[in-house]
Amino acid sequence: MLAAPLAAVVLAGCAVPASMAAQPQVEPTPGASASAAPLPEPAQLTTRLAQVSTAKIDRVAVTVTTTDGIVLAARSGTKPLTPASTMKVVTTMAAVDILGADHRFTTKAVDAGNAKVILVGGGDPVLTDKSSTSVYKRASLQRLAAATAAALKAKGQTQITLGYDASLFSGPTFSPYWKKKWKGTEARVAALEISSGKVGWRAQANPPLTAAKAFASRLKKAGIKVSKIAAAKASAGASELASVTSASLAMIIKRTLLISDNVGAETLSRHASLANGHAGSFSSASANVKDWLSAKGLWASGLKILDGSGLAPGSKLSTETLAKAMRAALAEPTYVPVTAGLPVAWETGTLAKRFDDKSEKAGRHNVHAKTGTLRGVAGLVGYLTTKDGARLVFAELANTSKPVSYTRLYNWLDRTAAATITCSCR
């Protein structure tokens, strides 16, 4: 990979601007495998991959398997390493398995009586202020305010106080396992927020209040005066004035993986936890994903999950677990939203500008994979097709404490994948 400037946000979670995300990709056929194609000989493939330079990288791990589970190469495959945003693979798999691909999230305004309206957050991670034409962003405060104003006027009300309720989620909004220096750029996780909790690249200090102020402004434009804004808790019996509903979970997962949306991953992890009867907090959501991995036979000693996005440097996964998860994603129709959301090398999302030099060229338009990036950490998990036509699953992680450029980490990842593609190894 050629050296290139790296946006600050990439340093903490591998996220990219939404403009880099293409429309949803054509989903791979669940269980599809070029089984008739010749496979690389394991010993030769292992030798070939070992030839890719790991200079200045302390620890690397790689697992390559067929889609039916035959291990073709494994280097430290069971070693727990920091996964960075490749964590989002298991987070989104758990979410779609637990919630279902058509699950949606609702943001509503309710009548609390005494000329008080409460804006209730439903944990929509792609809620916007202004209405959007994006296929991923169906719900907006603009639409909700217009419908709410119409409902209020029909009751003869034109002046209200506004409450906002973000109580669906609990616990800290910024993980204690994240680096404190990220507080200015990494969005807090809340059940009520717009623009993924950011203003440009800066994190909103109080996402629910920011959303409430934006809603009040929209109400004012629609002819409703708001005299006061404060946090509140909507009663279960409060009558609904209006509501807006998100795109499907399948669409949200595609966006989350394409651009590596940290708030999206954390929010979906909380919803999965709530659906299983647990709290919507960092700790409960993390434990819920661990339980899901255990139920699928994917958990192993030494693994650790501290969040849903992979921002926590203390989280640990192995390439063996990640490869097994990806193999399951390809095999079962439930996980089509996950495989369909994987960035494609040289085309979409966080892989749009990767595989950019001659030695990596074979990966272009071929590698479908989730990326991961933290300081001293990089990962790539997905699937590819060899030059002989065999579809293979792969997982790669690189961790180092040495001063090293992201380019060097990406080089090892991309060249390892490219070597897997081009190696005849028979």
CATH 3.50.80.20 domain position(s) in the chain: 106-247
* Mean predicted confidence (pLDDT) in 41-63: 97
Q: What's residue 328's pLDDT? A: 99
Rounded Cα–Cα distance for residues 275 and 294 (Å): 18
Beta-carbon count within 10 A of 389 CB: 11
Report residue 394 as tokens.
Answer: 């792969």
Question: Is it the case that residue 132 has pLDDT exceeding 90?
Answer: yes
Rounded Cα–Cα distance for residues 142 and 46 (Å): 55
* Confidence band for 4, pLDDT divided at 50, 70 and 90: very low
CATH 3.40.710.10 domain position(s) in the chain: 8-100+253-422
The full 3-state SS of 53-74, as one line of letters, equals: CCCCCCEEEEEEEECCCCEEEE
Q: How far is CA 412 from CA 258, 353, 426, in A?
A: 21, 15, 23
pLDDT digits (tens, 9 = 90+) for 77-120: 999 999 999 999 999 999 999 999 999 999 999 999 999 999 99
Query: Whole-structure pTM over 0.75, yes or no?
Result: yes
Q: What's residue 100's pLDDT? A: 99
Question: Is it the case that residue 26 has pLDDT exceeding 90?
Answer: no
* Mean predicted confidence (pLDDT) in 148-153: 99
Rounded Cα–Cα distance for residues 15 and 17 (Å): 7
pLDDT digits (tens, 9 = 90+) for 181-220: 999 999 999 999 999 999 988 999 999 999 999 999 999 9
Report residue 426 as tokens.
Answer: 């028979």
262-275 and 249-259 helices, crossing angle to 10°: 140
Instruction: Give percent of the chain with pLDDT exceeding 70.
Output: 92
* Mean predicted confidence (pLDDT) in 4-25: 41
Q: What's residue 9's pLDDT? A: 33
| Residue among 368, 373, 364 nearest 346 (CA) | 364
* Confidence band for 8, pLDDT divided at 50, 70 and 90: very low
Provide CATH code, domain 8-100+253-422.
3.40.710.10
Q: What's residue 370's pLDDT? A: 99
- 106-247 placed in CATH 3.40.50.300: no
